[in-house]
């Protein structure tokens, strides 16, 4: 008789779902928080990529002007990246003349950090390039 009451108590305890709501809330809340943080991190990575690309294009167009130098284009790119995301992201900027589609052009390449956890990430993992046709006074 005593064995029957223990089995009955175990079945009753397993069938009772009292107290499960807080556990479900914590599990679902943690999952949603993690998902939200992942989306925010992805948006930050896309933002840094767009800032670097826009700065590279702007720097290329600035360096391609007839009365400016390649160094001034690099400085313009560095200034734009620094203003938008910080000086640490403006470390590796190269500017060179190239021949895109047979015509002279300026190419600005920015190698910067790919943010993986906040603004911390892998250095030089993100590379973007901007091009502009070279102008002349002729």
> What is the total count of domains within the chain?
1
Q: What is the value of pTM for the model shown?
A: 0.80
Write out pLDDT tens, residues 45-69. Answer: 999 999 999 999 999 999 999 899 9
Mean pLDDT of the chain: 90
- CA 133 remoteness from chain centre: 28
Q: Which domain holds residue 28?
A: 20-133
Listed in sequence order, the DSSP H helices in the chain are 2-15, 20-63, 70-85
Q: How far apart are CA 107 and CA 100, in angstroms?
A: 9
Q: Give domain status of residue 128, yes or no.
A: yes
DSSP character at residue 136: -
Q: Give domain status of residue 96, yes or no.
A: yes
Residue listed under structure tokens 């400016």:
68
Q: Is the pLDDT of residue 9 over 60?
A: yes
Per-residue confidence (pLDDT) for residue 3, from 0 to 100: 52
Q: Give domain status of residue 12, yes or no.
A: no
Residue 37, both tokens: 């943080």
Q: Is the pLDDT of residue 7 over 80?
A: no
């Amino acid at each position: 008789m005593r064995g029957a009451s223990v089995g009955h108590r175990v079945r009753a305890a397993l069938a009772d779902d009292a107290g499960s709501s807080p556990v479900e809330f914590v599990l679902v809340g943690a999952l949603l928080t993690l998902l939200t943080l992942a989306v925010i991190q992805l948006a930050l990575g896309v933002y840094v990529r767009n800032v670097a690309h826009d700065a590279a294009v702007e720097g290329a167009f600035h360096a391609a002007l007839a009365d400016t130098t390649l160094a001034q284009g690099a400085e313009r790119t560095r200034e734009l990246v620094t203003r938008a995301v910080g000086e640490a992201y403006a470390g590796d900027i190269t500017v060179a003349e190239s021949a895109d589609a047979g015509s002279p052009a300026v190419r600005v390449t920015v190698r910067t950090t790919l943010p993986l956890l906040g603004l911390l990430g892998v250095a030089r993992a993100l590379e973007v390039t901007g091009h502009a046709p070279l102008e002349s006074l002729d």
